[in-house]
Amino acid sequence: MVARGSSIAIVVLLGCGEVKDEPADAPGPPGSDGAVVDASATCPRTLLLGGTMVEPQGWSVVMQPPATLSYGPDYVRLDTSTSTGASTSGQLLLNYPGALPPPPFRVQVVLLVERVNPHNSFDSATAIMASYTPPFGAGNDRSQMIYLDGGSIGWADDTQAFTTTVVNNTYHTLEVAVDASTTARVKIDGIAALTRNGFVSNGALAIGDQTNDAAVDSAIRIRSITLLCP
């Protein structure tokens, strides 16, 4: 695990246990250094705007090849794959430390899943993490992260799933809301899908391919991420 000290960093996973930090030049927006965000004073707030470089917006990039981060006219694209015969695969996560305030908070993600392999327990090729510890997530982060498979979304500890079509060349809107009693609720395209009690967030938000398990890969387009008013 890697403690994040600088406000923005590109983290390249060079191999098992080997990590290289490359600090960027420009400081990030408020909250990108891990400081607590006052939701009432900052919402709604755009955390990510597609088609624009992510690092100046406050995000760091956690990457292990084969993986590619690219941009379209209104999206950022994350693509991972597994080399022939390899025992591990690409990993590519966008991480925004301090993006989320203490509960209550609501965050909205608009994304399109081009392709995705089915998740493993505690691992997902398309993950939304409302708590994140680099480089893969700690136990609590991984158990309560949201996976998106081709035909369902769910909690990565497999305690609950919701059947829905995700891979259909369509942008979908996912909303994660955590109330003052730490009950988390997830909606997809306005439909209630998941609930979880005792949700714990460390303020970091991460999205993308969370795992380097072989053949657990994805390609996604992120159009926007917004911190909504609770």
Query: pLDDT tens, 130-183?
Result: 999 999 999 999 999 999 999 999 999 999 999 999 999 999 999 999 999 999
Classify residue 32: in a domain, yes or no: yes
Please give the Cα distance from 226 to 39 (Å, whole number): 12
Angle at 173 between CA 199 and CA 114, to 5 degrees: 110
pLDDT score of 178:
98
Bridge partner residues of 106 (DSSP): 177, 228
Classify residue 140: in a domain, yes or no: yes
Write out the two tokens for 160.
Answer: 């609950």
Q: Which CATH number goes with the domain that contains 61?
A: 2.60.120.200
Classify residue 213: in a domain, yes or no: yes
pLDDT score of 9:
39
Q: Which candidate, 31, 43, 37, 58, places its Cα nearest to that of 102? A: 37
Bridge partner residues of 94 (DSSP): 61, 207
Classify residue 222: in a domain, yes or no: yes
- Find out whether 122 and 142 touch, Cβ atoms under 8 Å: yes
What is the CA 68 to chain-centroid distance, rounded? 16
Can the peptide bond before residue 44 be classed as cis, meaning omega within 30 degrees of 0? yes
Classify residue 129: in a domain, yes or no: yes
pLDDT score of 42:
76
Write out the two tokens for 150.
Answer: 């081709």
pLDDT score of 15:
39
State which residues of the chain have pLDDT below 70: 1-41
pLDDT score of 31:
57
Classify residue 3: in a domain, yes or no: no
Q: What is the residue type of 110? A: V
- The helix/strand/coil state of 17 is coil
Classify residue 4: in a domain, yes or no: no
Mark out the alpha helices in the chain (DSSP H runs): 39-42, 139-143
Q: How far apart are the first and last CA of the chain?
A: 31
Q: How many domains does the chain contain in total?
A: 1
Other beta carbons less than 10 A from residue 188's beta carbon: 19
Classify residue 2: in a domain, yes or no: no
The DSSP line for 144-172 is SPEEE-SSEEEETTSS-EEE----SS--E
Structural domain boundaries enclosing 157: 9-228
